[in-house]
Structures are given as structure tokens and as C-alpha cells.
């Protein structure tokens, strides 16, 4: 199939590109074949999309998520993290069956597609169900089985992580990639962490781990190992310059910690809204970027963030750094938009395929309708997208060369069926908790 996007305002997100500029984009199969003016195609099955009044840009990339927690959206707000987790989230999650997880993942994926996300990273349990939802929906995803080692399960969890990689890596026409997922330093003792690192090396996949999300975590690791969480992971070989590691949150890092993670081949997934709602703190993104740390933007699960709209997250990401430094020049719109696109692609280890609009890359493209009152006038398109746009401004989403949403309607999933399933299942899950 070929798709021709006509009359778009193109924002490629390529370095040193003079943009935005008006033009056309020709997609053939999975790939961007040509970008220019007055493009044509002889394909008799050509689909033409008139994008006049729209920005064509790379799809946004959500670098940290737990999609089935959409079933628990706004169920337990305004609580401290451990109270939220121990007394609300975990009891509710323990009631979820495999079908609940599948439908919860679909709900999260619909929300992401409708708000401009074309790729995301998911860490959870029962990952076959999430993988099936990803395959059906058409979204691109990096999937991870979260591994918590509080008890001896005789290797069952680790084997599930291995099975996920062996079964799903490269599947769904290449849209699914995988990582190994030790949950966090405080939930993974040294021997288990080293085992996971060794498995990741053998399978040649990255690692996805929570890091220093709370002050309490930092204190626990200090008391038990006389290290910061970053030093603890460094001593176990995670930051030896050969591993690609996605570090979720990374809020409470000192200057020495930053020097430890700066050579990591992955980077930090910044989740501003979730960190705010749970009172965890503000990650020093300016300092990370100044030290060469790659940063992407995530939402965390909708159980804490409440929304999977990355346009909202960009506003929080930029605003928090400005107020933290009392400096409006910190983390400008261009840098923030780069974090949500190319930074995310690098973090998911898929930058060779997506993250920019350029010939030869896979066609993960969104069209944002800027012909709206809250998006007029058009003085600075990047500022407009970061500070004024919202997820519902996304008109069309193309992922892997397939139109998965057009005119705001998701084409790959029966949205009404999902909403009905969620209403029924969510009530059963939380009742009495």
C-alpha cells in the first residue's frame, strides 16, 4: 500500500533542518519513500491524505508505561506512594485476570493512539496479553516483564521474561521489541540483578528498570548496601558502557550518580505528571541533558498519571524545569519536543527506524490539526505544539505505514466494545478495596 500526504507543514525533527516547511510525504509499504513538493505516485491503490492546515511530524514516543493500570485510573488519587501502592494498587492488581489485562492494555493503547503516541514502552505482568493487544492495535511497543524478587519463585518470573523475548521480539511485522525488566534496585537483590543482566546480554536485549523514584528507595539502598541506587547498579555491572538501559524516573540522583549514568547507552524516561501526583519529586532534567544523558518522556501507568497524553506531559516537563530553576529559558519547546520524539526513539533503541521523518525510515507519522482557535496564530510551530496543543488535536496516526487512526477514529480496534468491557471489569476489580 502507498500513502501520499499532501500539503502538510512538515516537522521532521532532524538536526539542523530548516523547518517546518510545506510539502508532501510519500509512503510505500512500511517506509517513507520520498519527501518533497508536488509528489506523485503511479500506485493504483494510492491513498491520498490532504493535510492542509496540519503539521506532519514523527509520532510521539511514550518511554515508560503500565497500560493495564488504565483499569485503575483515578481510583486512588491524593495518597502517598507506599499507601497508594500497598493499600490500593496491589490489592486491585491482584484481582486482575488475563482478560482484564488484555482489555486494560487496549484501553491504554486507544488513548495513546488518539493523542499522537505511535510507540511506547510497557512493563507489566501477563505480557502475552499486552503483546496481543499491541499486535491487534497496530501500535509499536517495547515490552518488558517486570521482575520483582521479594520471594523465591524458583525462577518462574525470570523465565517469563525470557519467554517474552523469545516469543515476541521482532513480531507483529517488527513493531514489537522487548527488554528484560528488573523492577528496581530495592526489589532486586544483587544475585538476581546479576542474573538478569547476564540473561539480557545473552539474549542481546536492553534492560528497563525503575531508578531512584522516591527518597525512601534511596534511603533503603543506603542502609542496606551503603550505596546510592545508581552506585549499587554500577557495582553490579549495569553501567559498564555496553548495556542499553532504560532508567524510569531517575528523580533523586546526585552529581556522582549523573556521572555514572551518563555513558549508559539508553537514558532516562522522565515521567513528570506521575512524579508530581505521587509527590515523588522533580528530576533535574536540565542537568541530565547538560551532562549528555539522553532523556525521553513517559507517562508512567494511568493508575498514577491518570492520562497518557504526551502533549500534556510535554507541558509539565518544560514547566517544572523552568520553575525549579526560576528561569524561563530552561528546557525550551524545541528540546522538549525532541525528548518526546527522537529522545524516546533512542531510549527504546529504535532510532534507526523511527523518531524523525526522513527517507528510508519507517512511517510513524502523526498529523496535528492546527486550524483551531487554541492553535492560532502560527508564530512558532514547535512552541505551539508543546505549550498549546492537546492530544485531541491529532487527526491522523500512521504507524509502520498503516493508517491506524483517521479523522480521530481508531480503525484497528472496536472502541465501543473496549469501553463496555472496561466499565464492567473495572467495577469488579476495585469493589470493596
Helix ranges (H only) for 94-175 are 98-114, 127-137, 156-168
Topology given in CATH for the domain delimited by 2-58+357-410? Urease, subunit C; domain 1 (2.30.40)
Phi-psi group of 396: left, alpha or beta (phi > 0 → left; psi -120 to 50 → alpha; rest → beta): beta
Q: Tell me: the pLDDT tens digits for 365-410?
A: 999 999 999 999 999 999 999 999 999 999 999 999 999 999 999 9
**Nearest alpha-carbon partner for 57 in 314, 372, 313, 337:** 337
Cα four-point dihedral sign 368, 370, 373, 379: positive
Q: Tell me if 408 sits within 8 A of 395, measured CB to CB.
A: yes
Topology given in CATH for the domain delimited by 60-347? TIM Barrel (3.20.20)
Average pLDDT over residues 100-118: 98
- Looking up cell 528510508, which residue turns up? 360
CA angle centred on 24, ends 19 and 29, rounded to 5° = 115
Is a pLDDT exceeding 80 seen at residue 241? no
Phi, psi of 367 (to 5 degrees): -110, 120
* pLDDT score recorded for residue 1: 82
The pLDDT-based confidence of 331 (bands split at 50, 70, 90) is very high
Query: Would you say how long the chain is, in residues?
Result: 433
Average pLDDT over residues 336-358: 98
* pLDDT score recorded for residue 55: 98
Nearest-Å Rg of the Cα atoms of the chain is 21
Average pLDDT over residues 293-308: 96
Q: Tell me: the pLDDT tens digits for 4-49?
A: 999 999 999 999 888 899 999 999 999 999 999 999 998 999 999 9
Residue spans per domain, the chain: 2-58+357-410, 60-347
Number of helices (H), then strands (E), belonging to the chain: the values are 17, 17
Whether the predicted model's global pTM rises above the 0.85 cut: yes
Q: Tell me: the pLDDT tens digits for 243-266?
A: 999 999 999 999 999 999 998 899
From edge to edge, which strands make up the β-sheet containing 245-249?
60-65, 117-124, 140-147, 176-182, 207-211, 245-249, 267-270, 295-297
Amino acid at each position: 500500500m502507498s500513502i501520499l500526504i499532501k500539503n502538510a507543514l512538515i516537522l521532521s525533527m532532524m538536526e539542523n533542518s530548516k523547518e517546518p516547511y510545506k510539502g508532501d510525504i510519500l509512503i510505500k509499504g512500511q517506509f517513507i519513500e520520498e519527501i518533497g513538493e508536488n509528489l506523485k505516485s503511479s500506485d493504483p491503490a494510492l491513498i491520498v491524505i490532504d493535510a492542509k492546515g496540519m503539521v506532519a511530524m514523527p509520532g510521539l514516543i511514550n518511554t515508560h508505561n503500565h497500560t493495564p493500570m488504565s483499569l485503575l485510573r483515578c481510583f486512588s488519587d491524593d495518597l502517598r506512594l507506599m499507601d497508594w501502592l500497598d493499600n490500593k494498587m496491589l490489592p486491585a492488581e491482584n484481582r486482575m485476570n488475563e482478560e482484564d489485562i488484555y482489555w486494560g492494555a487496549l484501553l491504554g493503547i486507544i488513548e495513546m493512539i488518539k493523542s499522537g503516541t505511535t510507540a511506547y514502552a510497557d512493563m507489566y505482568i501477563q505480557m502475552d496479553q499486552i503483546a496481543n493487544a499491541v499486535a491487534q492495535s497496530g501500535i509499536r511497543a517495547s515490552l518488558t516483564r517486570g521482575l520483582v524478587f521479594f520471594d523465591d519463585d524458583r525462577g518462574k518470573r525470570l523465565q517469563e521474561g525470557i519467554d517474552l523475548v523469545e516469543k515476541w521480539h521482532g513480531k507483529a511485522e517488527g513493531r514489537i521489541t522487548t527488554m528484560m525488566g528488573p523492577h528496581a534496585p530495592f526489589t532486586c537483590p544483587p544475585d538476581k540483578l546479576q542474573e538478569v543482566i547476564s540473561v539480557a546480554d545473552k539474549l542481546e536485549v536492553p534492560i528497563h528498570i525503575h531508578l531512584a523514584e522516591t527518597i525512601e528507595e534511596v534511603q533503603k539502598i543506603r542502609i542496606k548496601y551503603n550505596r546510592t541506587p545508581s552506585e549499587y547498579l554500577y557495582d553490579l555491572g549495569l553501567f559498564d558502557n555496553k548495556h542499553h538501559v532504560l532508567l524510569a524516573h531517575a528523580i533523586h540522583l546526585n552529581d556522582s550518580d549523573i556521572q555514572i549514568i551518563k555513558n549508559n547507552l539508553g537514558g532516562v524516561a522522565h515521567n513528570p505528571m506521575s512524579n508530581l501526583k505521587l509527590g515523588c519529586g522533580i528530576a533535574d532534567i536540565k542537568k541530565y541533558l547538560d551532562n549528555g544523558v539522553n532523556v525521553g518522556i513517559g507517562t508512567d501507568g494511568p493508575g498514577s498519571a491518570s492520562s497518557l497524553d504526551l502533549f500534556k506531559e510535554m507541558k509539565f516537563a518544560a514547566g517544572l524545569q523552568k520553575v525549579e530553576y526560576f528561569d524561563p529559558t530552561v528546557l525550551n519547546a524545541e528540546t522538549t519536543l525532541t525528548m518526546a520524539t527522537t529522545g524516546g526513539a533512542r531510549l527504546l533503541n529504535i532510532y534507526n527506524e523511527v523518531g524523525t521523518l526522513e527517507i528510508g525510515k519507517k512511517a510513524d507519522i502523526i498529523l496535528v490539526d492546527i486550524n483551531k482557535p487554541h492553535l492560532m496564530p502560527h508564530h512558532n510551530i514547535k512552541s505551539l505544539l508543546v505549550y498549546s496543543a492537546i492530544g485531541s488535536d491529532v487527526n491522523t496516526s500512521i504507524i509502520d505505514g498503516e493508517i491506524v487512526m483517521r479523522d480521530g477514529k481508531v480503525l484497528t480496534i472496536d472502541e465501543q466494545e473496549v469501553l463496555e468491557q472496561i466499565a464492567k471489569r473495572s467495577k469488579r476489580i476495585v469493589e470493596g478495596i
